């Protein structure tokens, strides 16, 4: 994941400031977690995979993953 982040942000774009890099990283991580379907997760997004794992065994989690969706309050 570290190499993926570096290749898609730092190596590909020039950022004027640290805040600009932080905004780019935030957008990339959100898109990756909620939109990118991965072969290793059998075509699920990372968020969908975590939600399914939570449904199978909720005792393994300290928080409900459905409460981690970015929205108006974030």
The count of other CB atoms within 10 Å of the CB of residue 66 is 10
- In tens digits, the chain (74 residues) has pLDDT values of 788 888 888 888 888 999 998 898 888 888 888 999 999 999 999 999 999 999 999 999 998 888 877 776 55
CB 65 within 8 A of CB 46: no
**What pTM was computed for the model?**
0.71
């Amino acid at each position: 994941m570290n190499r993926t982040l570096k290749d898609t942000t730092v190596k590909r774009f020039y950022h004027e400031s640290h805040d600009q890099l932080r905004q780019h990283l935030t957008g990339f991580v959100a898109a990756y977690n909620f939109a990118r379907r991965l072969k290793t997760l059998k075509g699920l997004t990372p968020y969908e995979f975590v939600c399914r794992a939570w449904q199978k065994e909720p005792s393994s989690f300290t928080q409900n993953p459905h409460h981690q969706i970015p929205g108006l309050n974030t």
